[in-house]
Amino acid sequence: MLSLPVRRLHGPGPSPVAPAVLQALSLPCIGHMDPEFMRVMNEVREMLQQVFQTENQMTLACSGTGSAGAEMLMDNLVEPGDRCLIGVNGVFGGRLAEKARRAGGEVHTLEAEWGQVFETDRLLAEIERLQPTVVALVHAETSTGALQPFDQLAEAVHRHGGLLVMDCVTSLSGLPVLIDEWGIDAAYSGTQKCLSCPPGLSPVTLSPRAMEKVKRRRSKVNSWYLDLTLVGDYWSGSRAYHHTAPVNMNFALHEALRLVLEEGLEARFARHRQAHEQLKRGLLDRGFSYASDPDHSLPMLNLVNLPAAIADEAAVRRRLLDEFNLEIGGGLGKLAGKCWRIGLMGHGATEESVTAILDAIDAVLPAAG
């Protein structure tokens, strides 16, 4: 039988999974058209609406990781020739731009330094100039720890008939994601971050305005598998068979969402913030510095510059993994070898986790120097 070590997952994801979620994952499998599974799907949709803070009826768990959710939105909302404005201030903004290009969009990117966010006035000016069909930004850029404000964008996007799309893979259930209040037309997330569920599903939500765009398409959606006119019927319409849903992953997500709502969103947000502040104090005391914008930093993903004592950061991270079962992420892209990404997500955003992280770093830092 397969045997694996028990890791402390404090990289950029996946995050630690609560025992109750793993227990739900191991429930007996039933058919994806079974009436009991349809009940589970309904309850997953209702709980996702609460976590997204939306009344959108087209809210579902896309079969696939967060990247599948991104593909679903880009393939359904972008038609060949549609003008798209994509914010790129890290790896995942760049991936969004590439997905929009592959959907046939005329992609215009707005660039910012990694670790920084886009000033609202700059975004509004670019929206006014381009009048794009789709504006897509990353709310919580996992590669840099930057938190992008969304609350003042929708009016300008909608004034020109456009749609506002949000990547909230890392922020959902760890920070406020106010889909209806902020006027977000479509958003996607992942189960493996602050929801503390194994990777394998991508929560998505689309407004009536976004679904109208899907229904009015002049061409078929590029991906049959991710076509919302088909998947939507399976999730919330006629229940027409579309694909074999990952049944047990939906059981796990059901339990993860139940735990989120049992704790309460505000309490959960506060817990992430408190764990982040505790970790930040400890890291600063040990010679680390933060690489992301201090006024727009994520509490659940800490991007830090390394102290001079660490000459070979990959070797130190390997020691943390081998000797302490502690996973910490390295930098991506232009930050590779320069930064660490330390995650405090969902079930792992606790005082006990922070203490374990700092104790392990203390044990390896002298050798690293």
Answer for the pair 25, 248: CB distance below 8 angstroms, yes or no: yes
The pLDDT assigned to 167 comes to 98
- 286-335 pLDDT tens trace: 999 999 999 999 999 999 999 988 889 999 999 999 999 999 999 998 89
Residue closest to 162 by CA, chosen among 126, 188, 127: 127
- Identify the structural domains of the chain with CATH numbers, from first to last: 19-262 (3.40.640.10), 265-368 (3.90.1150.10)
The model's pTM: 0.96
Could you check whether the bond before residue 246 is cis, i.e. omega within 30 degrees of 0? no
The pLDDT assigned to 238 comes to 81
Residues in the chain where the model's pLDDT stays below 50? none
Q: What share of the chain in percent tops pLDDT 70?
A: 99
The pLDDT assigned to 103 comes to 97
Which residue shows structure tokens 């955003």? 349
The pLDDT assigned to 368 comes to 58
Residue closest to 153 by CA, chosen among 118, 183, 178, 188: 183
145: amino acid identity, one letter: G
The pLDDT assigned to 369 comes to 53
The pLDDT assigned to 367 comes to 63
Count other Cβ atoms within 10 Å, centred on residue 367: 10
